[in-house]
């Protein structure tokens, strides 16, 4: 048994839902108890989908057990096929139904349903969401792909590709696809299909017609891509174009495989990130310590951007999906770090606290951790929350993605100029610490509004789903000094340190005092510690 408070990934059938929901014309019959229907809200609330996921739950109850859960399943299958008329029906079990062993695949196959049935075996007690999505997508492709379909003769047509991996509830998948399509268009390459996002079973049937595949999200698309390579000899591009360097490499690989000139895409004038990063205002970014955690693909990409394209120092790297642990281990080696491969968020919290980074790049989990520790944070990977499904176009991939990344990562850090102003004017009464960096105020309007409401109400009670109501703990950074051991003089000095580094200064000084066995922290201790920890 594993003790878990928060989880990075849901169960594997949620992965299957992400695939089914992304597609058109499929329906998923899930043998599951009523409570499992909560998963619908992930799509309708967090991703703001305007339609229910195409999922029918059998919602068996205790009184059905040992009697007729099987016929319940068959009735549900009949009703769902009649009502939704899918072109393909996925059938499977959630964790509970797996235990009662009704064999959804066999039951559905015996019914003579008027559409193909794709059975999903997703072992809930071993696997998790990403694996479930990958397996589901693979099964769909394997069942539906027409192996006689091959690319048309190459002469007289543009090369064409499949984009594999984008799914529902994915971090920026919608926008990544649009950006990658733009790149391909500049290269004169057609997109045969995007899958699972937006694909129908009929589209999948023709998947063999593309010249090659591009795996945008290996966590979801790679298993299918490997099968396609084996079956259709369709090669796959696995370079994920997140970051300027990776995008350039991606363009070069794609162009080479397609036999086209990479220049039109490489010379894209909308690539602003390199100049933004070289311009003098960005100097202050140099050597900022960042901690990176997410799914392996996004974490590896983020670390590379941080290191090569922003001049940060990567002080921690990890992922929650063990299946891709190798990628993280390789990257960690490059930065001389111990990889953190865990899905225990408490372990991640400890690691972040120990690394004392100046910026955390992570999932919604790390955002909360960072908030508690008073460290700026930007989100780079699923799982994400409702505010990470923006209305505007904001990809992670391609040159536009790099532009977006520059803005979103630098934003939480105190801007270069502002940093100086704060230090210079910190005794000016108009520059009260309480104001904090001006740009942070608007960063989470929903939360701030909620906080205000919470403070107004004596009893915040509880938080409804999609966490509409929350109670925030004040970031500890602002509260500092005065703790036992600090002399008044040292405390006063501590308050002169800009608030955004004060927390760290305080922690370091206390750690130093502790290690040195000092009972009192004096002005000297403060500066000794500063010298001790100076990079």
Q: Binding string to ligand SF4 for residues 29 to 48, with x set by CB under 6 A, is what?
A: ----x-xx------------
Q: Which of residues 377-396 bind ligand SF4 (CB under 6 A)?
A: 385-386
Q: Is 52 in the site for another protein (CB under 8 A)?
A: yes
- Work out the number of other CB atoms within 10 angstroms of the CB of residue 534: 6
DSSP letter, residue 475: P
Residue 47 or 323: which CB sits closer to ligand SF4? Answer: 47
258 binds, among ligand SF4, another protein, none (CB under 5 to 8 A by kind): none
125 binds, among ligand SF4, another protein, none (CB under 5 to 8 A by kind): another protein
418 binds, among ligand SF4, another protein, none (CB under 5 to 8 A by kind): none
Q: Which of residues 115-174 bind another protein (CB under 8 A)?
A: 123-126, 128
**Cα separation, 294 vs 324, whole angstroms:** 11
- For residues 481 and 516, the answer to whether their CB atoms sit within 8 Å is no
> Which residue of 94, 130, 139, 197 would you call a contact of another protein, by CB under 8 A?
94
Residue 76 or 260: which CB sits closer to another protein? Answer: 76
Q: Is 256 in the site for another protein (CB under 8 A)?
A: no
Residue 74 or 247: which CB sits closer to another protein? Answer: 74
**Strands in 240-356 per DSSP E:** 289-294, 313-319, 339-341
Q: Is 467 in the site for ligand SF4 (CB under 6 A)?
A: yes
Q: Is 39 in the site for another protein (CB under 8 A)?
A: yes
- Bridge partners of 236, per DSSP, are 213
Torsion sign (Cα): 13, 465, 443, 317:
negative
> Which residue of 42, 145, 215, 337 would you call a contact of another protein, by CB under 8 A?
42
> Which residue of 60, 137, 217, 284 would you call a contact of another protein, by CB under 8 A?
60
Q: Which of residues 8-27 bind another protein (CB under 8 A)?
A: 9-11, 13-14
Question: Smallest distance from the beta carbon of 133 to another protein, in angstroms?
Answer: 14
Secondary structure (H, E, C), 180-201: HHHHHHHHCCEEEEEECCCCCH
Q: Is 96 in the site for ligand SF4 (CB under 6 A)?
A: yes
Q: Which pair of tokens denotes residue 276?
A: 């933004």
Q: Which pair of tokens denotes residue 264?
A: 């039109």
Q: Is 465 in the site for another protein (CB under 8 A)?
A: yes
Provide CB contacts within 8 A for 273, sequence distance 6+.
244, 309, 399, 402, 403, 405, 406
Cis omega (within 30 of 0) for bond into 383: yes
Q: Which of residues 368-407 bind another protein (CB under 8 A)?
A: 368, 371-372
Q: Which residue is nearest to ligand SF4 (CB)?
A: 35
**Cα separation, 346 vs 407, whole angstroms:** 29
Residue 172 or 367: which CB sits closer to ligand SF4? Answer: 367
Residue 143 or 372: which CB sits closer to another protein? Answer: 372
Query: Cα 256 from chain centroid?
Result: 30
DSSP letter, residue 521: B
Among 68, 79, 261, 281, which one carries the catalytic annotation?
281
**Cα separation, 213 vs 208, whole angstroms:** 10
- For residues 134 and 224, the answer to whether their CB atoms sit within 8 Å is yes
Residue 94 or 277: which CB sits closer to another protein? Answer: 94
- Local structure of 162: helix, strand or coil: strand
**Which of the stretches 96-104, 105-113, 324-332, 484-492 binds another protein when contact is defined by CB under 8 A?**
96-104
Closest CA to 327 of 298, 360, 356, 351: 298
Q: Which of residues 426-465 bind ligand SF4 (CB under 6 A)?
A: 447
Provide CB contacts within 8 A for 451, sequence distance 6+.
470, 471, 472
Question: Smallest distance from the beta carbon of 412 to ligand SF4, in angstroms?
Answer: 13
Residue 35 or 390: which CB sits closer to ligand SF4? Answer: 35
- For residues 201 and 85, the answer to whether their CB atoms sit within 8 Å is no
Radius of gyration of the chain (CA): 26
Number of residues that bind ligand SF4 (CB under 6 A): 13
Pairing assessment for the beta strands 88-93 and 26-31 based on DSSP bridges: parallel
Provide CB contacts within 8 A for 265, sequence distance 6+.
183, 186, 187, 251, 255
> Which residue of 106, 445, 464, 482 would you call a contact of another protein, by CB under 8 A?
464
Residue 124 or 509: which CB sits closer to another protein? Answer: 124
Q: Is 110 in the site for another protein (CB under 8 A)?
A: no
Name the phi and psi angles at 252, rounded to 5. -60, -45
Q: Which of residues 351-370 bind ligand SF4 (CB under 6 A)?
A: 364, 367-368
Q: Is 470 in the site for ligand SF4 (CB under 6 A)?
A: yes
- Local structure of 215: helix, strand or coil: strand
**Cα separation, 218 vs 165, whole angstroms:** 7
**Which of the stretches 4-12, 294-302, 307-315, 401-409 binds another protein when contact is defined by CB under 8 A?**
4-12
473 binds, among another protein, ligand SF4, none (CB under 5 to 8 A by kind): another protein
Closest CA to 109 of 148, 64, 70: 70
- For residues 320 and 293, the answer to whether their CB atoms sit within 8 Å is yes
Residue 187 or 377: which CB sits closer to ligand SF4? Answer: 377
Q: Is 281 a catalytic residue?
A: yes
354 binds, among ligand SF4, another protein, none (CB under 5 to 8 A by kind): none
Q: Is 45 in the site for another protein (CB under 8 A)?
A: yes
Q: Is 58 in the site for another protein (CB under 8 A)?
A: yes
**Helix or strand (DSSP H, E) at 24:** none
Place of tokens 């174009």: 241
Binding residues (CB under 6 A) for ligand SF4: these are: 33, 35-36, 95-96, 364, 367-368, 385-386, 447, 467, 470
Active-site residue list: 281
């Amino acid at each position: 048994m594993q003790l878990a408070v928060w989880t990075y990934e849901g169960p594997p059938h949620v992965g299957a839902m992400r695939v089914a929901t992304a597609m058109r014309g499929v329906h998923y019959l899930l043998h599951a108890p009523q409570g499992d229907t909560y998963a619908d809200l992930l799509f309708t609330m967090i991703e703001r989908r305007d339609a229910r996921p195409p999922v029918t739950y059998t919602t068996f109850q205790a009184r059905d057990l040992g009697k007729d859960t099987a016929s319940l399943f068959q009735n549900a299958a009949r009703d769902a096929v009649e009502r939704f008329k899918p072109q393909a029906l996925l059938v499977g079990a959630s964790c509970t139904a797996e235990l009662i062993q009704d064999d959804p695949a066999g039951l559905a196959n015996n019914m003579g349903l008027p559409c193909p049935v794709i059975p999903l075996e997703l072992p809930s007690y071993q696997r998790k969401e990403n694996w479930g999505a990958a397996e589901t997508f693979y099964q769909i492709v394997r069942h539906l792909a027409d192996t006689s379909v091959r690319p048309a003769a190459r002469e007289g047509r543009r090369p064409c590709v499949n984009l594999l991996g984008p799914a529902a509830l994915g971090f920026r998948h919608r926008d990544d696809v649009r950006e990658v399509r733009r790149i391909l268009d500049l290269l004169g390459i057609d997109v045969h299909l995007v899958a699972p996002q937006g694909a129908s079973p009929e589209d999948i049937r023709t998947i063999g017609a593309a010249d090659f595949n591009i795996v945008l999200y290996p966590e979801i698309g790679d298993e299918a891509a490997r099968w396609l390579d084996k079956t259709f000899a369709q090669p796959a591009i696995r370079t994920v174009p997140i970051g300027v360097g990776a995008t350039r490499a991606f363009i070069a690989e794609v162009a080479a495989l397609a036999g086209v000139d990479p220049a039109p895409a490489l010379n894209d004038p909308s690539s602003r990130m390199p100049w933004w990063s070289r311009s003098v205002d960005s100097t202050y970014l140099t050597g900022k310590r960042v901690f990176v955690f997410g799914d392996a693909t996004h974490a590896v990409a983020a670390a590379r951007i941080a290191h090569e394209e922003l001049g940060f120092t990567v002080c921690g790297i990890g992922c929650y999906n063990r299946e891709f642990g190798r990628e993280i281990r390789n990257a960690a080696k490059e930065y001389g770090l111990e990889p953190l491969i865990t899905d225990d968020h408490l372990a991640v919290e400890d690691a972040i606290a120990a690394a004392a980074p100046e910026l955390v790049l992570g999932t919604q989990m790390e955002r909360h951790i960072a908030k508690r520790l008073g460290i700026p944070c930007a989100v780079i990977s699923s799982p994400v929350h409702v505010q990470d499904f923006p209305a505007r176009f904001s990809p992670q991939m391609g040159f536009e993605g790099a532009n977006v990344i520059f803005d979103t990562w630098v934003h939480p850090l105190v801007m270069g100029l502002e940093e100086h102003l704060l230090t210079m004017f910190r005794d000016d009464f108009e520059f009260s610490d309480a104001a904090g960096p001006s740009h942070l105020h608007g960063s989470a309007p929903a939360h701030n509004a909620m906080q205000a409401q919470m403070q107004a109400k004596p009893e915040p009670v509880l938080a409804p789903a999609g966490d509409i109501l929350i109670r925030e703990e004040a970031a500890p950074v602002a509260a500092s000094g005065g703790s036992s051991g600090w002399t008044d003089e040292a405390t006063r000095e501590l308050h002169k340190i800009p608030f955004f580094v004060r927390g760290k200064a305080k922690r370091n000084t206390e750690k130093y005092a502790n290690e040195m066995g000092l009972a009192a922290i004096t002005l000297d201790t403060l500066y000794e510690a500063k010298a001790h920890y100076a990079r």
